Every structure is written in C-alpha cells, then in structure tokens.
Homo-oligomer: A and B are copies of this chain.
C-alpha cells in the first residue's frame, strides 16, 4: 500500500426534498451567488423556481447564467467569469450534472486568478484559490459534486482538458434522488457507465496490497449494476434504486477508492478525444473504450482481470483459466452496457474510424497515458481499432 493523504470536506445533504436547503447552505458562504445551469429541464420541472425561492427565503441575491451543455465550453466559462467580477459575486451555485458543476468550478477559478484561464487546463499553472462552489445535483454520473476535478472543452482546438485542484472541491452537494426520475434513459445509462468507469480506472492498479479498496470498489460496482438493472426494468421511479445509484456515483469519485493505490486513467484520456471530435457523451464513449482497453490488456496482470470478472461479473473462475475468465468478464460487461442502451463499438455511435490516427496522436499530447500500463501512440491506435471492431 502506498502512502496517501485523504480529506474530503464536501458536506453531502442527501434525500427527499433536500433542494429546499439550497438557500440556507448558500447563505453560509455568500450574500450573492451565480446560479449556473442549462436553462432546460431544471427550469421546466420547477426545480430552478424552488431553488430561487429557497435563496430568497435565506436572503441571498443571485445572477443567473444558463446555457451549459454537455462537454461544457470555455467560452461560457469566460462569460461567467465576467459576470462574477462585474457583479461582485461571492459563490457559484451549480444546478445540474457534471457539465454544470465543472463549468462552475472553472468559473470559480477564473474569478480569483488573473491571466489566461486555459493555462490551468493546459498544465502551465496550478491554482490554490477559487470561489466556493455549491451544488444541487440532478444527474448522477461525473462525481464532480464532491471531487477536485473539472473538465472543460476549448472550442478553438477543440481540446477537452481537465484540472484537479483541491480548492475547487464543492463546499456542499445537495442530492435528491427524486430529481433523477425524469432523466432520459440514455442519460441515466451514460451516468451509470461514467461512474463505473471512475471505479474501474482506480481498480486497475499495479499496487499489489490494496485489499480494502479492492473490496470497496467491487462492492460499489456490484451495487451500481444491480440497481441499474432495476431502473432499466421499469424502475425509473424506484426511489431506493435511484438513491443507491446517486450515492454510488459520489463514492466512485470522492477520493476514498484511490487511497493507497495509483489508478490508470488511460481510458478517460482516450475517450476525451472521442467526445472532443465527435460530440459523443462521455459515458457512451467510455462504454466503447473500456472493453477495448481491457481486451488490449488481457495479458497485463491477468489475475487481476480474472478477479474483476469473478467478483464483479459473477464469472466462476474455477471453470476457466485466468485469461478465459478475464475475457468472459469483459464480454459480460459489454452485454451489460448493451442492455442499458450504451454503444460498445464505433459504428454504434456513428464514429468515423478514419480519424483513429489523429485521435491517438492527440491522446498522447502530454506523453504516454495510463499507469496500469503506459500507453504510447501505437497502443492508443490499437485500442481505438479494437473499439472500432477492426481486429
């Protein structure tokens, strides 16, 4: 086990009706807040209205910035920074999923750090201060509600890049599973895939003695799979299934499952290129990339892959050799992704395989990716080809 530091200060407020606490929680940090969201379903459902009522009751003023979209844009972030500076805003309140939260975190950094904001994403600078960010979560997926990450797309590239700074960890996250009943099935499935990927990125480590976090990873994955099946078998409005998924999404990415180990994260890097070039939802891209990454690594610590197959996918290892068991696990994972409506090959998401070379080059822009196994451009090409079904 490796030495580690762990501290997660986000206050989680979880359960039915908790959005009513948005005002009183915000009032502990700010007199004026930037309310940041898509302007779509959260307005139509009345959620934004209820949050404004709650802010009003708590004596908090707000400005509003709508228009957040999947793969949130740098241009909107810059607009947010200008509003915050002009209107002397002290906090950002994100309403939505990972896109609204990541956009809010980037605004929070830009508001109190001078210079070109993209430099932080381009790994030229690091930030140790930001405005506080609060969250009302409506899409369980990214785990951004209690993480130190933000991923933003710069339209000029297009480049999709992430930052990881403790100062952008949200101060509170309000999580009401009822708000997720109305999510379209595709979005629910993308979220489920995203949180599973967050756990798998951590699970595949070369650190040998991390039995506790292995157990926690496997248990969280089994919980997600079991409850996903409930939701996709007519349980859209099953409170407990939605609640398990929502809480699992936070635990997947709050840092706990990292402790003592080094995660991989190559699949995220490979997917960033898919979503940057093809506007594919992050979860859908991961459903395409992860099985290919596993197949490419089937001989890389095969025992760990076989254990993953047995503990998470119920493959009985005693009927197989390790490599066969590992492969059986990957096939069951593909079946599961299909069963919730996710694509698992390029063609199913209308991705153009002729751009594989270009994507591979971009994916290793900062050098080799991944820790479980370092991948160079040639490896990236091979994994994209597996994902395209070309091998």
Say yes or no: is A154 at the interface (Cβ < 8 Å to chain B).
Answer: no
Say yes or no: is A273 at the interface (Cβ < 8 Å to chain B).
Answer: no
Set of chain B residues within 8 Å of A243, measured between Cβ atoms: 1, 209, 260
Cβ B4 vs Cβ A7 within 8 A: no
Cβ A244 vs Cβ B14 within 8 A: no
What sequence of 0s and 1s flags, for each residue 201-221 of chain A, a beta carbon within 8 Å of any chain B beta carbon?
000000011011001101110
Say yes or no: is A8 at the interface (Cβ < 8 Å to chain B).
Answer: yes
Cβ B215 vs Cβ A223 within 8 A: yes
Given the interface pairs A211-B244, A247-B259, A259-B247, the reply to whether A12 lies near B3 with Cβ below 8 Å is no
- Shortest Cβ distance from A206 into chain B, in angstroms? 14
Given the interface pairs A2-B15, A256-B256, the reply to whether A220 lies near B215 with Cβ below 8 Å is yes
Given the interface pairs A212-B251, A216-B219, A218-B219, the reply to whether A5 lies near B1 with Cβ below 8 Å is no
Task: Identify the 10 closest CB pairs spanning chains A and B, nearest first.
Answer: A3-B15, A215-B219, A209-B240, A7-B11, A6-B12, A212-B223, A1-B243, A219-B219, A9-B9, A212-B244
Set of chain B residues within 8 Å of A240, measured between Cβ atoms: 1, 208-209
Cβ B212 vs Cβ A248 within 8 A: yes
Closest B residue to A245 using CB positions: B212
A208 CA to B241 CA in the complex, in Å?
12
Cβ A220 vs Cβ B216 within 8 A: yes
Say yes or no: is A18 at the interface (Cβ < 8 Å to chain B).
Answer: yes
A259 CA to B13 CA in the complex, in Å?
11
- Shortest Cβ distance from A96 into chain B, in angstroms? 21
Say yes or no: is A299 at the interface (Cβ < 8 Å to chain B).
Answer: no
- The residue among A209, A211, A223, A244 with the most chain B CB atoms within 10 A of its own CB is A211
Set of chain B residues within 8 Å of A7, measured between Cβ atoms: 9-12
- The residue among A7, A218, A223 with the most chain B CB atoms within 10 A of its own CB is A7
Cβ B215 vs Cβ A260 within 8 A: no
A-B contacts, 14 of them at CB < 8 A, read A1-B240, A1-B247, A2-B15, A4-B15, A7-B10, A7-B12, A9-B9, A12-B259, A14-B259, A14-B260, A212-B248, A219-B219, A247-B260, A251-B256
Say yes or no: is A385 at the interface (Cβ < 8 Å to chain B).
Answer: no
Closest B residue to A213 using CB positions: B247
Interface size on A, residues (CB 8 A): 41
Set of chain B residues within 8 Å of A5, measured between Cβ atoms: 11-14
Say yes or no: is A71 at the interface (Cβ < 8 Å to chain B).
Answer: no
Closest B residue to A11 using CB positions: B7
A4 CA to B239 CA in the complex, in Å?
15
- Shortest Cβ distance from A231 into chain B, in angstroms? 13
Set of chain B residues within 8 Å of A208, measured between Cβ atoms: 240
A17 CA to B3 CA in the complex, in Å?
9
- Shortest Cβ distance from A364 into chain B, in angstroms? 31
Set of chain B residues within 8 Å of A216, measured between Cβ atoms: 216, 219-220
A4 CA to B12 CA in the complex, in Å?
8
Set of chain B residues within 8 Å of A260, measured between Cβ atoms: 14, 243, 247
- The residue among A1, A240, A244 with the most chain B CB atoms within 10 A of its own CB is A1
- Shortest Cβ distance from A194 into chain B, in angstroms? 17
Say yes or no: is A16 at the interface (Cβ < 8 Å to chain B).
Answer: yes
* Residue among B6, B13, B220, B244 making CB contact with A1, cutoff 8 Å: B244
What sequence of 0s and 1s flags, for each residue 179-214 of chain A, a beta carbon within 8 Å of any chain B beta carbon?
000000000000000000000000000001101100
Cβ A215 vs Cβ B209 within 8 A: no
Say yes or no: is A303 at the interface (Cβ < 8 Å to chain B).
Answer: no
